[in-house]
Amino acid sequence: DELRAAAIELGVDVHFLAEGDDLVALAREADADVLGMAGGDGSLGAVAGVAIERDLPFVCIPFGTRNHFARDLGLDRDDPIGALAAFAGVERRVDVGYVGDRMFLNNVSLGLYARLVHRREHHRRRRDALARLRALALTVKDRRRRQRFTIDGERVRARLVLVANNDYSLDLLSLGERERLDEGLLHLYVPHGFRRITWDERSCSELEIGSPLLRIRTAIDGEPADLDSPLQFRCEPGALRVLVPRAPE
C-alpha cells in the first residue's frame, strides 16, 4: 500500500490494524513521541484522545469517508500521503469536546442523524451491502418525527440536536466548514421548520441535555453510541496538540 510505504520511508513506525485490534490499547502502549492515525473521524478521535492522555502531538492522516476534521485543519482530504509531511511539521493547539468521558473532535448529534447512523451500523453488522441506503430510507420515513429533550433545563421538541466543537457554517441540514478550531466554545444547533429550515443557535463552554429516556442514542463524530441521560458536554480549549505540514515558503 502506497501510504504505508511512504510512511515507512519517512521513518514512521506503522501498525496495520487487523480485525479485533483494540485501537485505543495500541495507542496507549505504543513507544512513540508522536501518535498518528490514518482513518475516518471516529478512528482519528480515538487516537487523538490517547494523545491528550499522554500529552503527545497527534498527526491526522485523512483516510476515511468524510474526514471533516482533516478538512477543517486545512488538509487536502484527497492526499493522505501529503499529510505525512506533518510528522516534520509545526504544532497547533486545537479544542476538543467531551460528552461525559467521551471525547469528540467534530460534533455529537441526537435525533434524526443519530438514528440514521445507528440503523446503518445495524445493517452493516448484518453484512447488508445496501446498509447506508436502507438506513437512509428508514430515516426519511420518520423525518418529521420530533423527540423530547431538555437543554439546560429548557424543554425542547426537535428532529435533530447538534452539539459542535467550535462554530460550523450551516446550509439547511448540511454541515459546512469551521473557520476556527481554537475558539474555546461549544455550539448548539437546533433546526426548526420543515420546508424552510431555521436554526436556533447558541454557544457555551458547558451544556446538559436530558431526555425522558434513560439512554440517549447519539452519533459521536459519526460513530453510534448509546449514552446515559442526562448528557454532560464540555469544551476543553487547546487540549489537543496537532502537527500539521509546514506552509510552503
Print burial letters for 15-46: b (CB count within 10 Å at least 16), e (below 16).
eeeeeeeebeeebeebeeebbbbbbbbbbbbb
Number of domains making up the chain: 2
- Do residue 161 and residue 82 come from a single domain? no
On the CB side of 242, CA atoms within 13 Å amount to: 27
- Do residue 112 and residue 41 come from a single domain? no
pTM (predicted TM-score):
0.87
CA angle centred on 57, ends 37 and 226, rounded to 5°: 55
Domain final residue, candidates 55, 88, 121: 88
Structural domain harbouring 224: 107-237
Predicted local confidence at residue 197, as pLDDT: 65
Q: Is 15 part of any domain?
A: yes
Domain final residue, candidates 32, 57, 88: 88
- Do residue 228 and residue 139 come from a single domain? yes
Of the candidates 51, 58, 46, 52, the one whose C-alpha atom is nearest the C-alpha of residue 22 is: 46
CATH number at residue 80: 3.40.50.10330
Q: Is 195 part of any domain?
A: yes
> Taking the mean position of all CA atoms in its chain, how far away is CA 201?
19
pLDDT per residue, tens digit, the chain (249 aa), is: 899 999 999 999 999 999 899 999 999 999 999 999 999 999 999 999 999 999 999 999 999 878 999 999 999 999 999 999 999 999 999 999 999 999 999 999 999 888 888 666 544 555 544 444 444 444 445 555 678 999 999 999 998 899 999 999 876 556 789 999 999 999 999 987 665 567 789 999 999 999 999 999 999 999 999 999 999 999 999 999 999 999 887
CATH number at residue 208: 2.60.200.40
CA–CA gap between residue 115 and residue 93 (Å, rounded)? 33
Number of other CB atoms surrounding residue 62 within 10 Å: 25
Predicted local confidence at residue 58, as pLDDT: 99
Q: Is 101 part of any domain?
A: no
Q: Is 192 part of any domain?
A: yes
Q: Is 100 part of any domain?
A: no
Predicted local confidence at residue 112, as pLDDT: 85
- Do residue 80 and residue 126 come from a single domain? no
For residue 95, give the amino acid letter: D
Predicted local confidence at residue 195, as pLDDT: 56
- Do residue 78 and residue 115 come from a single domain? no
Q: Which helix (H) or strand (E) holds 169?
A: strand 168-171
CA–CA gap between residue 99 and residue 108 (Å, rounded)? 8
Contact 161, 151 (CB under 8 A): yes
